[in-house]
Amino acid sequence: MSIVTGYSFAFWVEILFLVAVIVMIRRARGGMKIPEIYKVAGLEAMDEAIGRCTEMGKPVHFSPGIGDLQNAQTLAAMSILGYVAKQCARYDTDLIATNRNVIVYPLSEEIVKQSFAEVGKLDNFKPDNVRWISDDQFAYATGVTGIMFREKPAANILVGAFWAESLIFAEVGSIAGAIQISGTANTHQIPFFVAACDYCLIGEELYAASAYLSKEPVLLASLVAQDWGKMVGVVLIVVGTVMASVGSNALGTLLSK
């Protein structure tokens, strides 16, 4: 048994990261103070967007992107869906959750149903509002476009893994007059969301959303470990830049082991 060539460094970094996450979680469970997390405008606006729908009597549209369940962005989107569904249930606001992936669809339905049940409003859950549109990327985009024009949601929440359809969703939402909150870790789609949406969760902010929205110390603690990881990354970049500038490739060799 041996580690796959080129994966050694990544393996040990992941182990260290796992240890850091566990240490922070134990600290949080032990009641130790967790450093404050900076405010994320897009997540702060989530309640405002749902409130706007409630006041206007219009639905919220939620898309978890087009990634499958093997994509961490989709799992992060599912956690946000739980929060959005719960808020919608509390304020008797319709939530239209559209899906492209057939495996994500039953999960979305279960999450929305469970969220309505948790606030004691299971009777208000409408199965027709959790929809599987199509497994085809652009057929899904067309379906969402139709929903945006026909049902005119007052909030358009697009969080998860998006590709070429991102701008279609965001522009159609803008034309429909919806307040738009987007978020993705797909770097090539971030510029589209930044340009077309009111708020955008950039990269890691998407993964931090569930911890941020739940405000659970244990979940917030894992964000601190995430920040430690970033600091290590910055140190490696600086050291690597200096070493490469003096003609040494030792760090590069170590990273590729």
Partner 1 sequence: MKKELPVAITLILAILYVLANYFTGVAFLDTAKNLLDRWYLIVAAWAVLVGSINLTQIHGRRISGKREGWIFSVWLLICLYGMMFFGIFVAKNASHPGWTFMYNQLIAPMNATVYSTIVFYIGSAAYRAFRVRSPEASVLLVTALIMMLGRVPLGRMLLGGHPALSQMADWILNVPNSAGMRGIQIGACLGGVATALRIALGIERGHLGGTGE
Site for partner 1 in 51-70 (CB under 8 A): 68, 70
Site for partner 1 in 216-255 (CB under 8 A): 218-219, 222-223, 225-226, 229-230, 233
Strand order in the sheet with 179-184: 130-132, 95-99, 60-65, 155-161, 179-184, 199-202
CA dist list (Å): 3 to 8, 16, 21, 146:
6, 16, 23, 50
- How far is Cα 46 from Cα 60, in angstroms, rounded to an integer? 11
Instruction: Please say whether the dihedral angle defined by the alpha carbons of residues 205, 207, 212 and 217, taken in this order, is positive or negative.
Output: negative
Q: Does 208 bind partner 1 (CB under 8 A)?
A: yes
Residue selected from 73, 93, 98, 156 as contacting partner 1 according to rule CB under 8 A: 73
- How far is Cα 129 from Cα 95, in angstroms, rounded to an integer? 7
| Residue 55 vs 164, nearer CB to partner 1 | 164
Among candidate residues 206, 202, 228, the one with its CA nearest the CA of residue 34: 228
Residue selected from 43, 45, 157, 170 as contacting partner 1 according to rule CB under 8 A: 170
| Residue 119 vs 243, nearer CB to partner 1 | 119
| Residue 55 vs 120, nearer CB to partner 1 | 120
Residue selected from 86, 159, 181, 212 as contacting partner 1 according to rule CB under 8 A: 86
Q: Does 257 bind partner 1 (CB under 8 A)?
A: no
- How far is Cα 194 from Cα 151, in angstroms, rounded to an integer? 24
- DSSP character at residue 124: G
46 near 62, Cβ under 8 Å?
Answer: no
Residue selected from 52, 91, 124, 203 as contacting partner 1 according to rule CB under 8 A: 203
| Residue 48 vs 68, nearer CB to partner 1 | 68
Residue selected from 164, 239, 242, 250 as contacting partner 1 according to rule CB under 8 A: 164
- Amino acid identity at 17: F
Site for partner 1 in 34-53 (CB under 8 A): none
Q: Does 120 bind partner 1 (CB under 8 A)?
A: no
Closest contact distance (angstroms) between CB of 15 and partner 1 is 10
